[in-house]
Amino acid sequence: MQFDFKNVEKRTASILEKALLGDEVSVQEGTHLLSADGRELTAIAQVADHLRQVAHGLNTSFVVTRNINFTNVCHMGCRFCGFARDKDSEDAELLSMETIAQRAMEAWQRGATEVCIQGGLHPNISPDHYRNIILAIKKSVPDIHIHAFSPFEILYGSRMNRLSYTDFLQDLKECGLGSIPGTAAEILDSDIRKVLTKDKLSATAWVEIVKATHKVGLRSTATMMYGHIDEPHHWANHMALLRDIQKETGGFTEFVPLGFVYHDSPLYVKSKQFTQKVVRPGPSRRENIAVHAVARIMLQGYVGNIQVSWTKLGPRFAQEAQHFGVNDLGGTLMNESISRASGAQYGQEITATEMQGIIRQAGFQPIQRNTLYQTLDSYLGDEASSPPRDIVASQNILVSDETLVPRTAWQSQHIAALEL
């Protein structure tokens, strides 16, 4: 594919030409791309789309999963989180092992291949609580993949058990843990983390835990929460750090940008109590496009799967994102409490049929995968799925802050016509 960058600012064109040759984009270059708008951003999206198609063609994957948030009690007090409750709150919750196992069985019976287990850091759980969750699920549903426990939970569990990260993770693996979510990364920058989490899980500790996870033979995702008090250079540094980890361990399955959900987040609602910085009401459309597209460009050759979070950014944006670097739409979900508790507007459940529809309506081929990106069903020859119920409510696609284009025209115009 030939690209004509004659109408693009010289430095942007130079960086994109470098990326098209497969050369590594530096932090400074990534920062420049992440700050782009207008024609420059359109060119970046086109290059990301090209790199995505080189790696994946028109295949877009998803996994059938269920989130089980086993407790909403947490004593860490992360300032961005609207999910956590005090242990004495009326709505405090700590699921029993029987309930967790039952929900995993329900997920399996509904076609899930994975359960994602995360929760708050409950002050009164026993040191063996995490391993008991895994054992209870495996006893009930031996073949389901357990994708569980953020690095924050690994830190907490290892301290309670007085074990190294490696030894704690090895024990969980032997109990049946299959992989971990690389959440709790937020932004891997000490100054930002001091505001978001009071640095109770430092960037250094997050990296150490993820590396230990990969060392014991478990894979993990990688995430970045953006759109609060952060700036483009933070995102570029974060992506470059993930790239360096991947060079060393090869353990990341995907990168998932997570737009900050601000509506009920204490960081936003009570911002004057926490920081003198302006807390943004989540990322802008420009930022969403730039982050996903530049992730594809910066991580190419290392982290091959770029996922969009439909629960945070919405199914409509998830459709569009396939045209600028994204090749995975994450999980169908059967329950999702954490984003919803901070005010996410996009529900907590979507079926595999609906996910196929979202993918097909954007002109792509749905692929059902497992947690480790092995293909389970490619739906080849299937008739296009019906429009999903109330998932993409409009028959139009929002391609700029004010412009609506009919879906059929949007598909044929592809990314070059997006008014970014």
Q: How far apart are CA 258 and CA 318, in angstroms?
A: 12
In CATH terms, 58-395 corresponds, of 3.90.110.10, 1.10.10.10, 3.20.20.70, 2.30.30.240, to: 3.20.20.70
With CA atoms as reference, report the closest residue to 77 among 227, 187, 198, 190. Answer: 198
pLDDT at 274: 53
Residue ranges of domains in the chain: 58-395
Classify each residue of 221-256 as buried b or exposed e, where b means 16 or more C-beta atoms within 10 Å of its C-beta: bbbbbbbbbbebbbbbbbbbbbbebbeebebbbbbb
pLDDT at 90: 74
Q: Which residue has the tokens 């459940």?
A: 349
pLDDT at 92: 80
Q: Which residue has the tokens 């007085």?
A: 162
298 CB-near residues (< 8 Å, 6+ apart): 25, 30, 236, 239, 240, 243
**Structural element, H or E, at residue 36:** none
Mean pLDDT per 10-residue section of the chain, whose length is 420 residues: 88 97 98 97 97 97 95 68 65 92 96 94 94 98 98 96 98 98 93 80 95 98 94 97 98 96 63 65 94 98 97 92 97 61 54 93 96 93 48 38 35 40
Beta strands at 404-406 and 396-398: parallel, antiparallel or unpaired: antiparallel
- Output phi, psi for 83, to 5 deg: -90, -35
Q: How far apart are CA 15 and CA 25, in angstroms?
A: 7
- DSSP labels, 211-230: HHHHHTT-EEEEEEEESSS-
Q: How far apart are CA 236 and CA 220, in angstroms?
A: 20
pLDDT at 196: 81
With CA atoms as reference, report the closest residue to 217 among 169, 155, 162. Answer: 169
Chain centroid, CA 21 distance in Å: 27
What would the two tokens of residue 232 be?
A: 């483009």
> CB atoms < 10 A from the CB of 312, how many?
26
pLDDT at 405: 34
Under 8 Å between Cβ of 134 and 154 = no
What would the two tokens of residue 310 be?
A: 């439909």
pLDDT at 266: 63
pLDDT at 402: 34
What would the two tokens of residue 251 be?
A: 């353990």
**Structural element, H or E, at residue 324:** none
Chain centroid, CA 1 distance in Å: 29
Under 8 Å between Cβ of 130 and 93 = no
Under 8 Å between Cβ of 121 and 74 = yes
pLDDT at 278: 77
Q: How far apart are CA 359 and CA 351, in angstroms?
A: 13
